[in-house]
């Protein structure tokens, strides 16, 4: 099917500063996309995971190279059709949460995605190198045990950026998936995921819940970027997902307007009184969400404000809460998060997942348990995974 003489190989790299400078990402990607248009040879997009919030010099540079093979023969060989439902128009300010209707295949357009086409994805860290061959349009998420169709043709549609996510933060993925599978987290209850970016957590979680129960909870995926939310909506449609809801907004301690120069990977600066763009800021409590199993917060330092506006939700649902921070909760945002959650009788110490940057750096995902009983049940399921004492990579091989 693929004519070897006709393969064009692109090498992609891609910049992803996890916490400190996500704002750079949009610019780098825009640059990279421009470059793709001009040059068919080599493209470098650095994936740089720099999650250490305490020092900027202390960074590791993990790289992902995607070697993408395409041939006209393969492209033109359309073996199946994917439904292409219309994306929502999310440029307009949106009143509340929208739950996506499951895309109706009867209105499907002809797709052009080749099911067998593969790319080589090589994840390099400063320690090792983990190569692997992955479906270009169908990504396996081993922890959630799902396959996610993506439109890999354009970054705008979320496909390119989605590829590495099935192997990054795999321990975190494993922990969450195991908790749902074991029933420690209830799959008929809801998940909030903010900032949801292109849906790299929200969509696999939604599909996993659909697999686990006939009455799956909703995954409410929230991000200030209309572009990223549209990417996610496209991918949700491709996968006929029926339990994703979304809202383009910023959750904070009170209602207001956030001024910003970019809505992509933005950090909230409440001090700014003007900016190119405005985003509505609301409290999570004002959304009237109930039955929450999991609150996953990755909002670039705005965590404590978000929690301040979510006290009723947390008191009524008692969800497991995941925040990004540093080891030992030593930075000021972590301290505020800890203070708020401890005041709500969450277990005093969070559990730490070290893989974002490895043990030698300080960044961590923190899991906050609503009570000791739940923590005890959880530890029976994930205790071994969390007690790893070797360097925890953020890629698959060592976890297999």
Ligand X SMILES: *[C@@H]1O[C@H](CO)[C@@H](O)[C@H](O)[C@H]1NC(C)=O
Where on the chain is the footprint of ligand X (CB under 6 A)? 67, 69, 89, 91-92, 96, 118-120, 127, 133, 286-288, 358, 360, 391
DSSP 266: P
Least distance from ligand X to the Cβ atom of residue 379, Å: 26
207 vs 245, which CB is nearer to ligand X?
Answer: 245
Rounded to whole angstroms, the Cα distance separating 230 from 279 reads 16
Q: Is-contact 52 59, C-beta < 8 A?
A: yes
Q: Name, in order, each residue with C-beta under 8 angstroms of 37's C-beta and a sequence gap of 6 or more.
A: none
Q: Over the Cα atoms of the chain, what is R_g?
A: 20
Least distance from ligand X to the Cβ atom of residue 31, Å: 25
285 vs 349, which CB is nearer to ligand X?
Answer: 285
Q: Could you give the dihedral angle defined by the CA atoms of residues 156, 157, 160 and 161, in that order, rounded to the nearest 10 degrees? A: 80
Least distance from ligand X to the Cβ atom of residue 134, Å: 9
69 vs 260, which CB is nearer to ligand X?
Answer: 69
Least distance from ligand X to the Cβ atom of residue 122, Å: 9
- List residues bridging with 326 in a β-sheet: 363
Token output for 69: 């093979």
Q: Could you give the dihedral angle defined by the CA atoms of residues 387, 202, 197 and 59, in that order, rounded to the nearest 10 degrees? A: 10
Least distance from ligand X to the Cβ atom of residue 160, Å: 15
159 vs 358, which CB is nearer to ligand X?
Answer: 358
What sign has the CA pseudo-torsion 134, 137, 138, 139?
positive
247 vs 375, which CB is nearer to ligand X?
Answer: 247
166 vs 323, which CB is nearer to ligand X?
Answer: 166
Angle between helices 170-181 and 372-386 (to 10 degrees): 130
Least distance from ligand X to the Cβ atom of residue 36, Å: 18
Rounded to whole angstroms, the Cα distance separating 35 from 370 reads 48
Could you identify the residue written with the tokens 């129960």? 213
Q: Is-contact 259 267, C-beta < 8 A?
A: no
Q: Is-contact 385 354, C-beta < 8 A?
A: no
Least distance from ligand X to the Cβ atom of residue 98, Å: 11
89 vs 384, which CB is nearer to ligand X?
Answer: 89
Rounded to whole angstroms, the Cα distance separating 66 from 10 reads 8
283 vs 365, which CB is nearer to ligand X?
Answer: 283
54 vs 360, which CB is nearer to ligand X?
Answer: 360
User: Three-state SS for 166?
Assistant: helix
Q: Could you give the dihedral angle defined by the CA atoms of residues 138, 144, 145 and 149, in that order, rounded to the nearest 10 degrees? A: -20
Of 288, 286, 202, nearest in space to 250 by CA: 286
Least distance from ligand X to the Cβ atom of residue 227, Å: 13
Could you identify the residue written with the tokens 């640059």? 31
Least distance from ligand X to the Cβ atom of residue 120, Å: 4
Angle between helices 202-212 and 170-181 (to 10 degrees): 20
Rounded to whole angstroms, the Cα distance separating 12 from 39 reads 12
Least distance from ligand X to the Cβ atom of residue 133, Å: 5
Run of H or E residues at 312: helix 311-317
136 vs 149, which CB is nearer to ligand X?
Answer: 136
């Amino acid at each position: 099917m693929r004519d070897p003489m006709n393969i064009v190989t692109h090498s992609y790299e891609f910049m992803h500063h996890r916490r400190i400078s996500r704002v750079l990402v949009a610019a780098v990607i825009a640059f990279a996309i421009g470059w793709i248009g001009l040059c068919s040879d080599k493209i470098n997009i650095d994936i740089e995971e720099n999650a250490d919030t305490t020092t900027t010099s202390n960074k590791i540079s993990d790289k992902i190279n995607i070697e993408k093979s395409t041939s006209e023969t393969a492209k033109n060989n359309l073996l199946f059709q994917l439904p292409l439902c219309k994306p929502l128009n999310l440029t307009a300010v949106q009143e509340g949460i929208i739950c996506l209707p499951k895309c109706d295949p009867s209105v499907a357009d002809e797709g052009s995605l080749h099911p067998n086409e593969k790319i080589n994805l090589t994840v390099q860290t400063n320690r090792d190198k983990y190569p692997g061959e992955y479906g270009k349009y169908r990504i396996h998420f081993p922890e959630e045990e799902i396959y996610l169709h993506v439109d890999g043709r354009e970054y705008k549609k979320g496909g390119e950026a989605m590829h590495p996510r099935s192997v990054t933060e795999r321990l975190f993925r494993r922990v969450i998936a195991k908790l749902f599978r074991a029933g420690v987290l209830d799959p008929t209850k809801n998940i909030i995921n903010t900032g949801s970016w292109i849906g790299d957590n929200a969509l696999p979680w939604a599909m996993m819940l659909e697999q686990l129960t006939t009455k799956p909870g909703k995954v409410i995926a929230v991000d200030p970027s209309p572009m990223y939310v549209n990417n996610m909506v496209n991918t949700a449609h491709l996968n006929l997902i029926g339990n994703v809801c979304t809202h383009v907004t910023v959750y904070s301690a009170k209602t207001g307007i956030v001024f910003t120069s970019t809505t992509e990977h933005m950090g909230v600066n409440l001090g700014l009184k003007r900016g190119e763009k405005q985003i509505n800021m609301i409290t999570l409590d004002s959304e009237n969400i109930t039955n929450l199993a999991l609150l996953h917060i990755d909002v670039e330092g705005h965590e404590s404000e978000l929690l301040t506006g979510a006290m009723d939700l947390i008191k009524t649902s008692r969800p497991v809460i995941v925040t990004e921070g540093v080891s030992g909760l030593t930075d000021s945002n972590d301290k505020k998060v800890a203070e708020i959650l401890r005041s709500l009788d969450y277990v005093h110490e969070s559990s730490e997942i070290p893989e974002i940057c490895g043990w030698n750096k300080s960044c961590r995902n923190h899991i906050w348990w609503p009570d000791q009983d739940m923590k005890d049940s959880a530890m029976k399921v994930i205790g071994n995974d969390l007690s790893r004492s070797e360097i925890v990579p953020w890629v698959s091989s060592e976890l297999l």
